[in-house]
Amino acid sequence: MKEKISFSADNLVLSGTLHLPETVSPPVVIGAHGLLSTGDSPKQQALAERLNRSGIAYFRFDHRGCGNSQGLFSEVTTFTGRCNDLAAAIRAVVSHPAIGRPIGLFGSSMGGAVCLAVAPDFNICAIVTLAAPVRIGSIKVPLDIKTDPAFNGMDASQMAFDLSGRLEHISDVLIIHGDADQVVPFPNGEEIFEKAGHPKHLVRLEGGDHSLTRHHHQQVFMEKTVNWFSARLGFGGIDIG
């Protein structure tokens, strides 16, 4: 079952979709999308379907200025704002009468960095990041993205972040990263793994790019992610940590 949910962050109304399994009071995973993506990305929709089959709810939402959420992208997009969005999403979902505990977070690219930044402030039992950067300087922005009209008028300094000192407060994390990622190079994944606490696991996708364009890498991502959440959130699965 799908349910549309609206919630507020910094006086902006954000929009999301809660995917509920048949399980009573299921655990939930909340997803944070990449910089120019939305909660409707095929990756998040497929993950929601797979987790529902495993008895886990999934909430995907549009960050401010994206998709169906309020705000003009170039004016409202900041790293702090994205963190506030995710924190508001967590509070909204855990207050839903159909949702139980525990809680997991999934973040892709910039969404992964947001999850790592926010997780220590909540009782998060499992995290999965895909191609997450540790700091803004780690990102090699392609020319086609730099010239995207969405960035017109945007203050790039507002996206500055450095998570290196926060990673020691992270645990129960699965890090998935392609070693041919030209946008967020693989050493970011290695740094997260090195500094995070146990349990943790790093999946190196050999030849994997930032968007996981190879079908095999997509399959590995989905299998490892569902297993991690299933094991950590109490619904079976294979503990790969």
What tens digit of pLDDT does each residue of 88-126 get? 999 999 999 999 889 999 999 999 999 999 999 999 999
Helices (H) and strands (E) in the chain, counts: 7, 8
Report whether 32 contacts 70 (CB < 8 A).
no
Cβ atoms within 10 Å, residue 120: 13
Tens of pLDDT, residues 157-181: 889 999 999 999 999 999 999 999 9
Query: What strands, in cross-sheet order, belong to the sheet with 2-9?
Result: 2-9, 12-19, 57-61, 28-32, 103-108, 126-130, 173-178, 200-205
Give me the pLDDT at residue 239, please: 44
What pairs with residue 7 in β-bridges?
14
Q: Give the H or E element holding residue 194.
A: helix 187-195
d(Cα 60, Cα 47) in Å, to the nearest integer?
A: 10
What tokens were used for 124?
Answer: 């998060």
Chain CA centroid to CA 67, Å: 16
Q: What is the pLDDT of residue 145?
A: 65
Kindly report the number of other CB atoms within 10 A of residue 4's CB atom: 9
Q: Rounded distance, CA 226 to CA 27, Å?
A: 13
Q: Which domains does the chain have, with CATH numbers?
A: 2-232 (3.40.50.1820)
CA 184 – CA 64 distance, rounded (Å): 23
**Tens of pLDDT along 58-87?**
999 999 999 999 999 999 999 999 999 999
Written as one letter, the residue type at 164 is S
Q: What is the pLDDT of residue 28?
A: 97
pTM, to two decimals? 0.94
Cα-Cα-Cα-Cα dihedral of 99, 100, 102, 108, to 10°? -10
Instruction: Decide: 21 and 75 in contact? Cβ < 8 Å.
Output: no
